[in-house]
Amino acid sequence: MASKKYEEMTDHELMVEMLKAQQKDARRGLAAAISGFTIALVFAVAFAILIPVAITSLKKIDEAVTNCTVMIENATVTIEQAQTTLEGIDTMTEGVNDIVNDNTQAVSDALDEINSIDIDQLNQAINDLASIVKPLAKLFNGG
């Protein structure tokens, strides 16, 4: 049947056209509803998968931040201990410098005394002592 203008159609023809239009609209509405439901289902599944992953990731991030905080606190304590140790080393070094400065003159005097010893005369005295001790040793050993 050729398309007629609505004004030229009979009541029956208008009713048939209206029924066809309603059926077409109903199919479109059903397709739209199915599409909407499918999209909603896809989003629901995606959220069901992503939300636990996101929660796990946030927990891991929280743990990492906590661990970083602990490491920073430990590093701060270590730096403070190192600073205290360095201050102790500085104090000890100053004490050693004072001792060295105080004892330099005494060491110098002792070296002068050692240098003034006559080695030849000392050797002669040792030889003389040995010559005296040998006969005494023979005497006491029953010799």
Tens-digit pLDDT profile for residues 68-110? 999 999 999 999 999 999 888 888 888 888 787 778 887 788 7
* pLDDT band per the 50, 70, 90 thresholds, residue 33: very high
pLDDT band at 131 (very low <50, low <70, confident <90, very high): confident
Q: Report the alpha-carbon distance of residue 9 to residue 1 in Å, rounded.
A: 12
Mean pLDDT of all residues in 107-122: 81
Does 4 have pLDDT greater than 80?
no
pLDDT at 119 over 70: yes
Do residues 61 and 69 lie in contact, with contact meaning Cβ atoms separated by under 8 Å? no
The Cα-based distances of 13 to 4, 9, 22, 25, 78 in angstroms read 10, 6, 14, 18, 95
pTM of the predicted protein model: 0.41
Q: Is the pLDDT of residue 1 over 90?
A: no
Residue 2: pLDDT band with limits 50, 70, 90: low
Dihedrals φ, ψ of 10, to 5°? -85, 170
Among 32, 50, 30, 52, CA closest to 42: 50
Sorted by where each begins, the domain ranges of the chain are 10-104
